[in-house]
Amino acid sequence: MAFDYSTALTHLMSHVMKLYRHNVDLLIQAYDVYPGQPPLLIRLAEEDGQIQQELARKLNIKPATMTVMVNRMVKTGLVERRNDPHDQRVSRVFLTEKGRQAEKAVKEALQEIEEKCFAHFTPEEKELFRRLLQQMHKDLEDVQSSKRSSTEICTERFE
């Protein structure tokens, strides 16, 4: 049987995630929070005063992308940079009061959408879904690491 992308589960998952992100974006824009920023707000609320490079690593984004994100959040007053008192070459990112309020509102919005997403799921179905997604995540990481390995092997052969 030929692969039909229009009926593929991954295609449906992609559409569900687009709807999810769109709904999150609608709920957070009232707080001067832009797409992609909620994870950073939440990370800083958990541990304020981190360096950008470490935040980029934890959020699995490029350092340049983190710089753009932090610059934008400084302009909207959600975060501020402060020099590290022990190393003037390092700047740390801190939530402002506005950022703390936005983080709370964002978490409430995420919880609201989470509840809507799973309103018709039993607790057992949610747990099964969680396990299935974790397995998919692991499987995709395995594919990614095996591709890296083959690329490295190929590079070694042609050097």
Residue 88 shares a structural domain with residue 21:
yes
Per-residue model confidence as pLDDT tens digits over 10-42: 999 999 999 999 999 998 988 989 999 999 999
Does 92 lie in the same domain as 17?
A: yes
**6 inside domain:** no
User: Where are the alpha helices (H) located in 29-122, listed in sequence order?
Assistant: 38-46, 52-59, 63-75, 97-117
What does the pLDDT look like over 99-137, one tens digit per residue?
999 999 999 999 999 999 999 999 999 999 999 999 999
Tell me, yes or no, whether 46 and 81 share the same domain.
Answer: yes
Output the six-digit token pair for 13: 């998952």
76 domain-assigned: yes
**Per-residue pLDDT tens over the stretch 43-78:** 999 999 999 999 999 999 999 999 999 999 999 999
Q: CA 147 to CA 6: how far, in whole Å?
A: 26
In a domain, 7, yes or no: no
Give pTM, 2 decimals.
Answer: 0.78
Q: Hunting for tokens 């700047």 — which residue is that?
A: 91
Question: Is the distance from CB of 106 to CB of 38 less than 8 angstroms?
Answer: yes
Task: Centre a 10 Å sphere on the Cβ of residue 57 and count the other Cβ atoms it contains.
Answer: 13
Q: Which domain holds residue 54?
A: 12-120
